[in-house]
Structure 1
Amino acid sequence: MKEQCLWHVTSPEPCLDLPALEGRQSADVIVVGAGITGLSTALHLAEAGTTATLIESGEIPSGGSGLNVGLVNAGLWIPPQDICDALGEKDGERANAILGAAPGEVFDLIERHDIACQATRTGTLHLAHNTKGEQELARRVVQFQQRDAPVELLEDEACWKKVGTRRIRRALLDRRAGTLNPAAYTRGLARAAYAAGANLFTRSPALGVSREGESWRVTTPQGSVLAPRIVLATNAYTEDDWNQVRHHFFPGCFFQVASTPLSDELAGDILPEGQGAWDTRMVLSSMRRDSEGRLILGSLGSGEGRPSAYLRCWADRIQRHYFPQLGRVDWECTWTGKIAFTPDHTLRLFEPAPGILAATGFNGRGITTGTVVGKGFARYLTRKDESQLPLPIRRCKPIQAKPLWSSAYEGGFTLYHAGQCLRVLI
């Protein structure tokens, strides 16, 4: 089993051949980070006629934007009323409305820029793994339907036909959502931003930011850019001491394991309409198939450095529980990406200093959240209008005891997966 990201290998969108930043340059806006948030920001700025220079430390994509499950989900991780309880009624319903419509924004961009990312628009499935999970899904359905969202609770035969397993009796189908190849979507955004006139530079890590009069200078190993505004779109991959984003999330991981392609004769009844799915376990399992028929399983926690036998054991356990009809499955590759978590499971949009915008804490909803945040940032920077952002830009207190949060999460995930491998848990 190879350690490589399937999405990078199978992306129909090629990796752009972009230069490193050299010399002293200037722009209207500097964007740091070429994930979905940064690229969406640069694309929408360029389309508005604003000079945007984007710098990325690696290639595109090199972070979580190309390593995630590829679910184009609506909303945040927590249900709508919980969002209102965390953020207040006004801000909560604003976030529900904008992020509920976010899959449409993603699919519109894909169509408008002809992004080849193997997108499907048949929804996603949230699977109840036990009675408590069924009750949670029923609670979510009521809250979504109160807001006129096109979701429904599938039961028994209708559920089994959509998922392909009789281990699940109830599932929430969200018709707003879908799936895609995240690396291809990210590369497609880069191509669109470049074509619109954004200046994109790779292999150009930001070494620091300094104030020069009314502007900011961002320095890289071979050059620098001067601009009055900066967007920090580094999210879960923020590590530098100068970058204040690092104080506003705690990092977690999500690993995935992909099978070799499975024939329709063998696996055609598993997620036959192309939906991606995840279950209601305390440490969830995700499952989907790609355009070539592979079964892709994932879960919270890091797979980096784990023995192949450990990851194969976990994948076998989940596959045999949900899809025993497959028999023995050959696992082809595995990879791990990072997630930026927050204690209240909601995102943060803030200004760490005058003229600098930042976003983090997407809590595993980066494809849709990053897309609409980037569009909203561009609108705010060009028109001083923040109405398209899921939340107002506001002051945020740094997260306390970050290492404890990360250690608790990763330790809990590891113990849970060990229990699954030992057949103590499933």
Structure 2
Amino acid sequence: MKSKGNLWRVSTTVSQVAQPLPEDKSVDLVVIGGGFTGNSAALEAARRGASVAVLEARTVGHGGSGRNVGLVNAGLWIPPQEVIGIMGNAAGHKLMAALAEGPSRVWRIIEDAGIDCEATRNGTLHLAHSAAGVRNLQERHRQGAAMGWPVECLDAKETARRTGSLAFYGSLFDPRAGTIQPLSYARGLAAAAHEAGARLHDQTKVTRIRQLGDKWIIEANGFTVRARALLLATNAYFDGIEMGFRPEFVAVSYFQFATAPMPARLRESILPGGEGCWDTAVVMSSFRIDEAGRMIVGAVGDLDGPGRPIHAAWARRALSRVYPQLADLPFEHDWCGRIAMTADHIPKIVALGPNAYASFGYSGRGISPGTVFGTQAAIALLEADESVLPVAPVRTHRERLVRAKEVYYESGAVLTHALRPALF
């Protein structure tokens, strides 16, 4: 069966509100990138009465925001004590507190703006794929409980009841979290920002950024935007701008396959609570269902590269092993996107100059962190108060051996999917 491509683009019900930049503009804040971070910043700034222009090279949600798994998680990929060990006690606790509140902020925006994005606030399950995975989750639970988080360790029996599968050894349940249709959320943020007064411009490729006095001068589509403040929010989809700066990160690909909708009799027993799931394996995998009952299987790997047949075969084996009753259900959609990883897995804010930031490096946790970082960046830029940022801005950020690491991640995913049993 020929793939129908990215499921989120087919199933979204939220219309585009952007159009190409038609003329020169002068605004309080210019945002480059129309994803979770950029649109959250635009929404916050517009609600505060600022004039805002969002410039998106392709379409709103074209990048990782429209290719996301759709898990609204609290915290980061690494456990809290590791974050604190890297950042220090005060800075680590500040970031963890901001991200612990991240899902609530996402749910509040969705409700306040009336965004139709299949929001399912039923929690997530971090699944143990082995006995070692159980120990990993027990330690994460200990650390999370010490932070005051309402997480709960579930045994294999309860995990089987919630997932409808006997493949897992246990799980860690986070009731704060949930799932959304990510492209609809990105577009919904844009629509809410537009309604608040922001102007969003897609098919508007920024070619040059420079500083002139107290203004930032942005050149795009043959026009010029002058702004008092600037936010670069392209994350893993930065494709080159003449500005003397390039965000440094390791680009890691993540793919997804979506089945045809499950028959009603099976849907009742497979993830009946609608939790989103991911596992403890080194080469991480995920699965969830959408509103129509499609099972969506994801993992690290690039479908646009030579490893595509191996990743596709793994997805079929994985689905068959975890849910044998779905073994013959065809995959109708497949797509992949890029994640911006940093060496320490901590998101970065780089100060580009007066009243200018670049925010990137969510390491696979784009929805909640992107919303939090975008919102707080807008406040910091408008009020000239960097203390409201989740992390302290730095002047520079460097990543070593970027290309070698990118090859390593993809090669590891290909080898794992080719040689190991299909495990989530």
- Shorter-chain-normalised TM-score: which range? over 0.9
Name the CA distance, whole Å, in 1 between partners of 2:138 and 2:85: 19
Name the CA distance, whole Å, in 2 between partners of 1:261 and 1:86: 43
Whether contact under 8 Å (2:311, 2:414) holds in the other structure is: no
Whether contact under 8 Å (2:37, 2:373) holds in the other structure is: yes
Equivalent residue runs for 1:17-416 within 5 Å: 18-242=18-242, 246-305=246-305, 310-416=310-416
Whether contact under 8 Å (1:245, 1:359) holds in the other structure is: no
Name the CA distance, whole Å, in 2 between partners of 1:333 and 1:130: 29
Whether contact under 8 Å (1:245, 1:360) holds in the other structure is: no
Name the CA distance, whole Å, in 2 between partners of 1:264 and 1:171: 26
Deviation at 1:311, TM superposition (A): 4.2
Q: Which amino acid aligns with 1:110?
A: I
**SS across alignment from 1:246:** coil
Provide closer, same or farther for how the CA distance between residues 244 and 346 of structure 1 changes in structure 2, counting only shifts above 3 A.
farther
Deviation at 1:90, TM superposition (A): 0.8
Gap regions ≥5 residues in structure 1: none
Q: Which amino acid aligns with 2:56?
A: E
Deviation at 1:354, TM superposition (A): 2.8
Provide closer, same or farther for how the CA distance between residues 20 and 327 of structure 1 changes in structure 2, counting only shifts above 3 A.
closer
Name the CA distance, whole Å, in 2 between partners of 1:127 and 1:241: 41
Whether contact under 8 Å (1:255, 1:337) holds in the other structure is: yes
What corresponds to 2:9 in structure 1?
8
TM-score, structure 2 as length reference? 0.96
Whether contact under 8 Å (2:33, 2:54) holds in the other structure is: yes
Deviation at 1:407, TM superposition (A): 1.4
Deviation at 1:171, TM superposition (A): 0.3
Name the CA distance, whole Å, in 1 between partners of 2:379 and 2:255: 34
Across the two proteins, how many residue pairs are aligned to each other? 423
TM-score, structure 1 as length reference? 0.96
Whether contact under 8 Å (1:21, 1:222) holds in the other structure is: no
**SS across alignment from 1:53:** strand
Q: Which amino acid aligns with 2:313?
A: C
Provide closer, same or farther for how the CA distance between residues 69 and 231 of structure 1 changes in structure 2, counting only shifts above 3 A.
same
Provide closer, same or farther for how the CA distance between residues 131 and 246 of structure 1 changes in structure 2, counting only shifts above 3 A.
farther
What corresponds to 2:418 in structure 1?
418
Provide closer, same or farther for how the CA distance between residues 224 and 190 of structure 1 changes in structure 2, counting only shifts above 3 A.
same
Provide closer, same or farther for how the CA distance between residues 310 and 23 of structure 1 changes in structure 2, counting only shifts above 3 A.
same
- Taking only the aligned residue pairs, the percentage that are identical comes to 37
Deviation at 1:307, TM superposition (A): 7.8
Name the CA distance, whole Å, in 2 between partners of 1:152 and 1:425: 23
Q: Which amino acid aligns with 1:302?
A: D
Provide closer, same or farther for how the CA distance between residues 425 and 156 of structure 1 changes in structure 2, counting only shifts above 3 A.
closer
Name the CA distance, whole Å, in 2 between partners of 1:204 and 1:98: 32
Whether contact under 8 Å (1:348, 1:396) holds in the other structure is: no
Whether contact under 8 Å (2:317, 2:422) holds in the other structure is: no
Q: Which amino acid aligns with 1:31?
A: V
Once the two structures are overlaid, the 10-residue window that deviates more, 308-317 or 108-117, is 308-317
Deviation at 1:342, TM superposition (A): 0.3
Name the CA distance, whole Å, in 1 between partners of 2:46 and 2:9: 26
Deviation at 1:349, TM superposition (A): 0.9
Whether contact under 8 Å (2:129, 2:423) holds in the other structure is: no
Deviation at 1:318, TM superposition (A): 0.5
Deviation at 1:105, TM superposition (A): 0.2
Once the two structures are overlaid, the 10-residue window that deviates more, 161-170 or 121-130, is 161-170
